[in-house]
Amino acid sequence: MDQFKDKLLSSFIVFENQLNGQKNKPFHQLRRSAIDTFETKGFPTVRDEEWKYTNLKPLFKKDYNVFHSSEESLEFRDIRRYFLSESDTYKIVFINGFFASWLSSTTHQNYDVCTFSSALEKYQDIIDEYAGTIARNEDSLTALNTSFAREGAFIHIPDGKVVDRPIEIIFFTTDGDNNTFIQPRNLVVVGQNSQCNIVERHQSLGNQHTVSNCVTEVLAKKGAQVTYHKIQNDAPNASLIDSTTVKQEKDSTVTLHTFSFGGKLTRNNLEFDLVEPGAQANLYGISILNDYQLVDNHTVVNHISPHCESNELYKGIFDDHARGVFNGKVHVFPHAQKTNAFQENNNLLLTDTASIDTKPQLEIYADDVKCSHGCTIGQLDEDALFYLRQRGIPHKEAQALLMFAFTTDALRGLKIGELKNKLNRLIARKLSVNIDFDL
């Protein structure tokens, strides 16, 4: 870990020298203080309470390329299957950290759907106002991302606009021979009473080890409605550390779906700040893992203001030696009366070697609140299995149907038809059955 840390620290100097004019902009001050934070704190270890169940050491013992070359031979038809649609979505596509304009479909009409790097050049006022104000800069991995932040998605929706189609953000890595470390940085600002739907995906196309340390900041202004979907179905050697921080103003609704079906190690840090009354945060997660895959869902909902609501529902299915971690913290601040906070984590373990560590944490400093939490760990219901088999549904398909049924309440509210179909197919493939689940 120390070796790779040293490599990152020295890479920062190289990176800084590539920045030219950007070096003198206020955002770079943020990078500088962030690299100091990372230098002081380093990679988190299992001694750190928040990383007790997920050991990053094996991951960062390896060496990774930090600087990459752009790959321009990738064609849309080769990667069509990772997208929802060929023409009915906006697309912000990156390959090895570089923007791939020929695969993308951006816009500046009515709203901006483009790249973080172009925003650094063109929308400096928005960058200065929001970038780095929502993310947790004291967190060492967020700081590491901030110190190299230059590329990623930039979505800025002014007040009163409804984005007419879903926005797809996809990060591809292709480095065939090298282990790859990338650090995408996304900023999403949704104006008052505006609406947008986002789908984010990280996809390694090579066999080498890939680690993405991704940071996303989302601001939902008064009355904004944002639905954010994260599809995590990456290659067996690909790992993702995702830190997404959401700030919600009055009467805004943000729904975040996390679908974890693959990848070596997936760590989701989701943190919501409900800063004004009437904000509603919905966090839904479905993890279906097998082999030696690991998903670690760490969520924090900060009820800072009164009259806010949060709903959290995470469903996990773990087969083979797969491991899950769920750590859900709900923090109700002293003045946040009339808070409604609901949290649930249900898990199915299909083998004796699969495991889940689940830890709900409620910290409540107000006295007029409704908070609930619960977690369950179980196996498939044998009576239900027999019932389905008696009706002619074979064992494997019956199991799949029950597992799908187990996840469905975390799938509610999905509005994008093509996304439903895609998930339907992904889940069927993940459970290796050929049945139509009908979402």
Partner 1 sequence: MLKIKNLHARIDEVEILKGINLEIKAGEVHAIMGPNGSGKSTLSSVIAGREDYEITEGSIEFSGEDIMELSPEERAHMGLFLSFQYPVEIPGVSVTNFLKTAINESRKGRGLEPMPAKDMLKKMREKMAMLEMDKSFMSRAINEGFSGGEKKRNEIFQMAMLEPKLAILDETDSGLDIDALRVVASGVNKLRNENNAILVITHYQRLLDHIIPDKVHVLQGGKIVRSGDKNLALELESKGYDWLKHEPAI
Give the closest residue to 274 by CA, choosing from 242, 314, 313, 306.
306
Q: Is 317 in the site for partner 1 (CB under 8 A)?
A: no
Alpha carbons 242 and 239: distance in angstroms, whole number: 10
DSSP at 162: B
Q: How far is the CB of 408 from partner 1 (least distance, A)?
A: 4
Q: Give the number of residues in contact with partner 1, rule: CB under 8 A.
A: 28
Considering only residues 264 to 283 of the shown chain, the ones binding partner 1 according to CB under 8 A are: none
Q: Is 388 in the site for partner 1 (CB under 8 A)?
A: yes
Q: How far is the CB of 429 from partner 1 (least distance, A)?
A: 17
Residue closer to partner 1 by CB (options 367, 383) is: 383
Number of Cβ atoms within 10 Å of the Cβ of 351:
13
Residue closer to partner 1 by CB (options 367, 436) is: 436
Q: Is 381 in the site for partner 1 (CB under 8 A)?
A: yes
| C-alpha to C-alpha distances, 74 to 77, 142, 179, 244, nearest whole angstrom | 9, 30, 19, 28
- The window from 30-38, 86-94, 110-118, 386-394 that contacts partner 1 (CB under 8 A) reads 386-394
Q: Can you say how many angstroms the Cα of residue 420 is from the centroid of all Cα atoms in its chain?
A: 18
The correct pick among 67, 102, 365, 387 for binding partner 1 (CB under 8 A) is 387
Which tokens sit at 361? 């944490």
Q: How far is the CB of 401 from partner 1 (least distance, A)?
A: 6
Q: How far is the CB of 120 from partner 1 (least distance, A)?
A: 45
Alpha carbons 301 and 217: distance in angstroms, whole number: 15
Q: How far is the CB of 254 from partner 1 (least distance, A)?
A: 25
Q: How far is the CB of 289 from partner 1 (least distance, A)?
A: 20
Q: Is 401 in the site for partner 1 (CB under 8 A)?
A: yes
Q: Is 384 in the site for partner 1 (CB under 8 A)?
A: yes
Q: Is 404 in the site for partner 1 (CB under 8 A)?
A: yes
Give the closest residue to 380 by CA, choosing from 398, 360, 358, 356.
398
Q: Is 397 in the site for partner 1 (CB under 8 A)?
A: yes
Strand pairing of 112-115 and 153-157? antiparallel
Q: How far is the CB of 392 from partner 1 (least distance, A)?
A: 4
Question: Can you tell me whether residue 290 is helix, strand or coil?
Answer: coil
Q: Is 389 in the site for partner 1 (CB under 8 A)?
A: yes
- The window from 105-113, 126-134, 220-228, 401-409 that contacts partner 1 (CB under 8 A) reads 401-409
Query: 260: which strand partners?
Result: 232, 287
Q: Is 428 in the site for partner 1 (CB under 8 A)?
A: no
- The one-letter code for the residue type at 93 is V
The correct pick among 2, 72, 405, 421 for binding partner 1 (CB under 8 A) is 405
The correct pick among 386, 413, 429, 432 for binding partner 1 (CB under 8 A) is 386
Q: Is 398 in the site for partner 1 (CB under 8 A)?
A: yes
Residue closer to partner 1 by CB (options 368, 382) is: 382
Strand pairing of 225-233 and 253-262? parallel
Strand pairing of 112-115 and 370-378? unpaired
Q: Is 425 in the site for partner 1 (CB under 8 A)?
A: no
Residue closer to partner 1 by CB (options 84, 388) is: 388
DSSP at 407: H
Q: How far is the CB of 433 from partner 1 (least distance, A)?
A: 10
Query: 341: which strand partners?
Result: 310, 371
Q: Can you say how many angstroms the Cα of residue 32 is from the centroid of all Cα atoms in its chain?
A: 25
- The window from 232-240, 321-329, 357-365, 429-437 that contacts partner 1 (CB under 8 A) reads 429-437
Residue closer to partner 1 by CB (options 275, 435) is: 435
Q: How far is the CB of 404 from partner 1 (least distance, A)?
A: 7
Residue closer to partner 1 by CB (options 310, 399) is: 399
Buried b (16+ CB within 10 A) or exposed e, 282-292: bbbbbbbbbee
The correct pick among 174, 407, 430, 431 for binding partner 1 (CB under 8 A) is 407
| C-alpha to C-alpha distances, 398 to 144, 206, 351, nearest whole angstrom | 45, 34, 17
Question: Can you tell me whether residue 58 is helix, strand or coil?
Answer: helix
Strand pairing of 98-99 and 90-95? antiparallel
Residue closer to partner 1 by CB (options 19, 380) is: 380
Number of Cβ atoms within 10 Å of the Cβ of 277:
14
Alpha carbons 437 and 391: distance in angstroms, whole number: 17
Which tokens sit at 206? 């090579």
> How crowded is the C-beta side of 316, counted as CA atoms within 13 Å?
31
Binding residues for partner 1 (CB under 8 A): 381-384, 386-395, 397-398, 401-402, 404-409, 435-438
